[in-house]
Amino acid sequence: MKQVSITRRNSLKLFALSGTTILTMPNVLWSAKKIAKPLRFGIITDSHYADRDPAGTRFYRDALPKMNEAIEALNEADLDFLIHLGDFKDQGVEANPLETLKYLQEVEAVFQRFEGDAYHALGNHDVDSIRKAEFLRNIMNAGQELARSYYSFETSAFTCIVLDANYDAAGKDHFYAEGANWEDAHIPLEELAWFKNTLTQAQKPVLVFCHHPLYPFYKEGSKFHVTNHQEVQELMEASQKVIACFHGHVHKEEFKTIKGIHYITQLGMVDYEGLENNSFSIVELDEAQLKIEGFKRASDYETRLK
């Protein structure tokens, strides 16, 4: 794998690379024909940038230099695209919409220094003291005149689908300044119908991205997963096209396989002080294997696909 200009601290790995998992893919589109060039993309999640003092493990101001370091490294890595999996920015201790918007614009300016296609998934902290529409007006997703909260894009060998679970059970946008419940995150009916149609039309294997885990994830007594995740899983399993799903939100790493689909959850960039505690990853994927190269606190992972 091509080296990038950053020193990886293997001693800080939270999970050692522990062999290779063999699984049977149900994918009817997956061909034995070798992909000419593996897909390579970068993942960053939960940067939570804000100009505020640390709280617990979250060093909000450090997110900006961490983001800058990650972008510089990923620009050297020959990637097909970069995606941020949500909680891009945060807010002050006393929520101020104008300050929150400023934090968003500052971290987006660094993120857009990536020299390639860059995308966002929306996190719950992205709709804290500013509404979803305002967040979307102040970010850029490659190929979109106005950023959308759920959408798809194509690479040479894969269809990529980005979901948004920042809705209540009635399909209303979450807005935490008005008391939305962050633990009750839904993929609403309209989005589910769009997702099913997008899966049906996909002519390539599919990768799915969502801030909230699409499988059960509890931490410290709280629910972090999409409330109606079973409906989403059923659509993915029925399609026989989904290879893997990528998530943030929980600030922990986890690698699970459920009915042949990988569910991969990544560490938060914001946690712990200084560049030595940065966290981001490169994913490499072809018809035979999925590999993750983790940097600094993030772990390596590898699994065979057939």
The amino acid occupying position 142 is A
- For residues 107-116, average pLDDT: 98
Dump strand ranges (E) for 178-219. 206-209, 218-219
Q: With 50 as the cut, is the pLDDT of residue 15 above it? A: no
Q: Compute the Cα dihedral for 6, 11, 16, 17 and give only its sign.
A: positive
| φ and ψ of 257, to 5 deg | -125, 120
C-alpha distances (whole Å) from 295 to each of 47, 152, 262, 277 are 15, 27, 20, 9
What band does 30 get if pLDDT is binned at 50, 70 and 90? low
From the options 3.20.20.370, 3.60.21.10, 3.10.200.10, 3.40.50.12780, give the CATH code of 37-304. Answer: 3.60.21.10
Comparison of pLDDT for 14 and 109, the residue scoring more? 109
| Strand stretches in 102-249, DSSP E | 117-120, 151-154, 159-162, 206-209, 218-219, 222-223, 242-247
What's the rounded Cα separation, in Å, for the pair 123 and 165?
A: 8
pLDDT of 222-242, one tens digit each? 999 999 999 999 999 999 999
How confident is the model over 151-164, as pLDDT tens digits?
999 999 999 999 99
pLDDT band at 266 (very low <50, low <70, confident <90, very high): very high
Residue 95: its pLDDT value, please? Answer: 92
User: Which stretch of DSSP H or E encloses residue 293?
Assistant: strand 289-296
| Res. 75 pLDDT band, cuts 50 70 90 | very high
The first and second tokens of residue 129, run together, are 């003291």
What is residue 69's predicted lDDT score, i.e. its pLDDT? Answer: 98
Note the pLDDT of residue 8: 38
**pLDDT at residue 55 is higher than 70:** yes
Please provide the average confidence, as pLDDT, over all residues in the chain: 90
pLDDT exceeds cutoff 70 at 20? no
pLDDT at 7 over 70: no
Mean pLDDT on 19-42 = 61
One-letter amino acid of 9: R
234 φ/ψ angles, rounded to the nearest 5 degrees: -60, -40
Across 82-93, average pLDDT? 98
- Res 4 pLDDT > 60: no
**What phi and psi values does residue 281 have, to the nearest 5 degrees?**
-145, 160
Q: Decide: residue 140, CB within 10 A, 0-12 exposed, 13-18 middle, 19+ buried.
A: middle
Cα separation values, 91 from 69, 84, 109, 166, Å:
22, 18, 17, 17
Q: State the pLDDT confidence band at 35, using cuts at 50, 70 and 90.
A: confident
Across 27-31, 81-85, 175-179, the highest mean pLDDT is recorded for 81-85
Q: What percent of the chain has pLDDT over 90?
A: 85
Listed in order, strand segments (DSSP E) in 129-285 are 151-154, 159-162, 206-209, 218-219, 222-223, 242-247, 254-258, 261-265, 279-285
Give the pLDDT confidence score for residue 14 in this predicted structure.
Answer: 32
Whether the predicted pLDDT of 18 surpasses 90? no
Phi-psi label, residue 19: left if phi above 0, alpha if psi -120 to 50, beta otherwise: left
Decide which of 131 and 16 is more confident: 131
Query: CB–CB of 151/160 below 8 Å?
Result: no
Residue 31: is its pLDDT beyond 70? no
What tokens were used for 9? 């601290």
CA distances in angstroms from 245 to 131, 138, 139, listed in the order given: 26, 26, 23
